[in-house]
């Protein structure tokens, strides 16, 4: 578009042409915004460097190599007081990832269960589920975490009178945490794992082949059950051939506490349970909305084609519902990862607790530590949203 001379009142000066041209104006605005942001950034930067100088603090990431003089109550990678801050960062990340991963798996299962309960034709079941959702999602998560920690796990018995869950003498719950058997792999256990990996690949290949053949010829092949058989069967055989090279280290009461096995502290359990219960409400709502979003005509059409209710659900309803469920589901998983940082309130050593609180207080490197923690969460977030975009591209309606 050519620049239009709008000097209708006789002033066709180049100035008014420039002022009224949208392109020039947009460049002008952008320069102003850029300048303001840069000035703000410079202002903050100069203040910060002045303040740091006044307090005699250095900046930079050198502190990561120095030793952290505190101990951490729970870590899945070995840690002891005296390891470096970088190692503390990694301990925090692994703890956060462990907690979030377990919570995501459990909350997804519970959420689907509650969501399906809400859609039940049984009025009582639907009401029960809907009150579960209403009550728990309208109370703050932090309050729920504190409730589990202070009101439930704090009144658990001492190790001596542990609650024996399932009465198998395997899972012991007391005020020091939950004790459970730990697997101790033997020499040849890796063979079983390798077989498992190969079986999964083979089962996946069979599933693809079966689908291709069905698309081409219409002949069905029970790929699912074959796959289950392969994945369970072959590793089992290998496991038995190599002489069952897996022992369980069972926790036993010795003196005042349990020895052997693995354990998680009460703080972990409190955060885990609260995260699972709280986020399941949101997942339940997504599942309900997703299934309701599939129009009833789909069900009727599939019945009129002669499909049984089970097949209708599996082949018609669920694939379409998943398209609506998965995107919010994954962003909810992201929220689980973010909310796992509330573990700090009950003293579970997640990333924020060990790094942003303890390490920051000890080393004083506020800017570096805040940046590193935010970097971790952003990386997780970008990874998850990247996966989500890929999935969306995969399942979105193909317009033909």
Partner 1 sequence: MTNLDASSSEVVFKPKPSLPPPPNTVGAIGWVRKNLFSSPLNAFLTILSLYVIWVIVSNTFEWAIVNAVWEANSRRECLDKVGLSGACWAGVSHWMKNFIYGRYPDEEVWRVNLGFGTLILWMLPFWLPRVTSKIAIGASAILISPFLLGYLFAGGEKGLFLQVMISIAITSFIFSWAHTLLSMATGKSLWAAIVQASGFSAKPEATHKYPVFAACLVVFAVAFAWQSSWDITSQSTNLWGGLFVTLVISGIGIAVSLPAGIVLALGRRSKMPVIRVFCVSFIELFRSVPLITVLFMAVTMVPLFLPEAINPVKIVQAIIAVCIFSSAYMAETVRGGLQAIPKGQYEAAQALGLSYWKMMTLIVMPQALKLMIPNIVGSFIGLLKDTTLVSIVGLYDLLLMLKAVSQNPQWNGIHTEPLVFGAALYFVLCFVMSKYSQHLERTLGAGQAGR
Beta carbons of 225 and 167 less than 8 angstroms apart: no
Under the binding rule (CB under 8 A), the answer on residue 147 touching partner 1 is yes
Q: Is-contact 270 153, C-beta < 8 A?
A: yes
Residue closer to partner 1, measured from CB, 182 or 326: 326
Please state the closest distance from residue 27 (CB atom) to partner 1, in A: 8
Answer yes or no: are the C-beta atoms of 174 and 159 closer than 8 Å: yes
DSSP 102-157: HHHHHHHHHHHHHHHHHT-S-HHHHHHHHHHHHHHHTS-HHHHHHIIIIIIGGGSP
Residue selected from 128, 165, 231, 330 as contacting partner 1 according to rule CB under 8 A: 128
Work out which of 345, 347, 362, 391 binds partner 1, going by CB under 8 A. Answer: 345
Q: Which of residues 39-78 bind partner 1 (CB under 8 A)?
A: 44, 47-48, 50-52, 54
Among 14, 30, 66, 392, binds partner 1 (CB under 8 A): 30
DSSP characters for 196-213?
HHHHHHHHHHHHHHHHHH
- Of 154, 163, 241, 387, the one binding partner 1 by CB under 8 A: 154
Token digits of residue 274:
């609260």
Does 120 interact with partner 1 (rule: CB under 8 A)? yes
Determine, following the binding rule CB under 8 A, whether residue 344 of this chain makes contact with partner 1: yes
Instruction: Determine phi and psi for 218, rounding to 5 degrees.
Output: 85, 0
Q: Which stretch binds partner 1 (CB under 8 A): 5-13, 105-113, 250-258, 380-388?
A: 380-388
Does 341 engage in binding with partner 1 (CB under 8 A)?
yes
Under rule CB under 8 A, residue 163 binds partner 1: no
Q: Where are the beta strands (DSSP E) in 88-176?
A: 163-165, 171-174
- Decide: is 138 part of the binding site for partner 1 (CB under 8 A): yes
State which of residues 8, 123, 168, 217 lies at the interface with partner 1 (CB under 8 A).
Answer: 123
Closest by CA to 272, choosing from 327, 217, 343, is 343
What is the C-alpha end-to-end distance of the chain, expressed in Å?
36
Nearer to partner 1 by Cβ, of 173 and 356: the residue is 356
The residues, any chain, with a CB within 8 Å of residue 372's CB and separated by 6 or more, are 89, 355
Q: Per this entry, what is the length of the chain?
A: 400
Binding segment for partner 1 (CB under 8 A), chosen from 13-21, 63-71, 117-125, 214-222, is 117-125
**Least distance from C-beta 354 to partner 1, angstroms?**
13
Count of CB atoms within 10 A of residue 277's CB? 21
150 contacts partner 1 (rule: CB under 8 A): yes
Task: Scan for tokens 């002949």, then name that residue.
Answer: 219
134 touching partner 1, by CB under 8 A: yes
Distance (Å, whole) CA 302 – CA 311: 9
* Nearest CB to partner 1, comparing residues 70 and 248: 70
Q: How far apart are CA 63 and CA 83, in angstroms?
A: 12
Interface ranges with partner 1 (CB under 8 A) = 26, 29-31, 33-34, 37, 44, 47-48, 50-52, 54, 120-125, 127-128, 134-135, 138-144, 146-147, 150-151, 154-155, 334, 338-339, 341-342, 344-345, 352, 356-357, 360, 366-367, 370, 373-374, 377-378, 380-382
């Amino acid at each position: 578009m050519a620049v239009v001379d709008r000097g209708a009142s006789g002033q066709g000066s180049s100035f008014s042409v420039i002022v009224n041209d949208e392109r020039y104006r947009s460049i002008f605005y952008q320069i102003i915004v850029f300048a303001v942001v840069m000035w703000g950034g410079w202002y903050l930067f100069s203040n910060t460097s002045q303040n740091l100088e006044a307090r005699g603090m250095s900046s930079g990431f050198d502190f990561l190599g120095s030793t952290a003089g505190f101990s951490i109550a729970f870590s899945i990678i070995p840690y002891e007081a005296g390891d470096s801050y970088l190692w503390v960062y990694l301990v925090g990340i692994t703890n956060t990832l462990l907690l979030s991963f377990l919570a995501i798996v459990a909350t997804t299962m519970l959420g689907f269960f509650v969501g399906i309960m809400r859609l039940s034709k049984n009025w009582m079941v639907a009401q029960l589920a809907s009150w579960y959702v209403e009550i728990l999602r309208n109370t703050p998560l932090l309050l729920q975490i504190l409730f589990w920690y202070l009101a439930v796990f704090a009144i658990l018995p001492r190790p001596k009178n542990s609650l024996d869950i399932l009465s198998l003498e395997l899972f012991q719950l007391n005020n020091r945490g939950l004790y459970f058997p730990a697997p101790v792999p033997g020499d040849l256990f890796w063979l079983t794992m390798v077989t498992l990996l190969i079986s999964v690949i083979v089962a996946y290949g069979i599933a693809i082949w079966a689908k291709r053949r069905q698309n081409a010829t219409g002949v069905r092949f029970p790929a699912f059950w074959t796959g289950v058989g392969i994945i369970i069967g072959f590793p089992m055989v290998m496991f038995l051939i190599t002489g069952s090279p897996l022992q369980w280290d069972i926790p036993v009461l010795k003196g005042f506490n349990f020895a052997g096995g693995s354990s998680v502290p009460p703080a972990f359990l409190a955060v885990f349970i609260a995260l699972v219960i709280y986020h399941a409400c949101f997942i339940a709502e997504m599942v309900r909305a997703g299934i309701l979003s599939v129009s009833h005509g789909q069900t009727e059409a599939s019945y009129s084609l002669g499909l049984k209710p089970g097949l209708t659900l599996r082949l018609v309803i669920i694939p379409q519902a998943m398209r609506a469920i998965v995107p919010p589901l994954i962003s909810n998983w992201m929220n689980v990862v973010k909310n796992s940082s509330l573990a700090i309130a009950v003293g579970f050593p997640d990333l924020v607790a060990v790094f942003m609180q303890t390490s920051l207080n000890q080393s004083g490197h506020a800017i570096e530590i805040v940046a590193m923690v935010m970097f971790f969460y952003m990386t997780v977030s970008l990874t998850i949203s990247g996966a989500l975009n890929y999935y969306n591209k995969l399942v979105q309606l193909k317009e033909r």
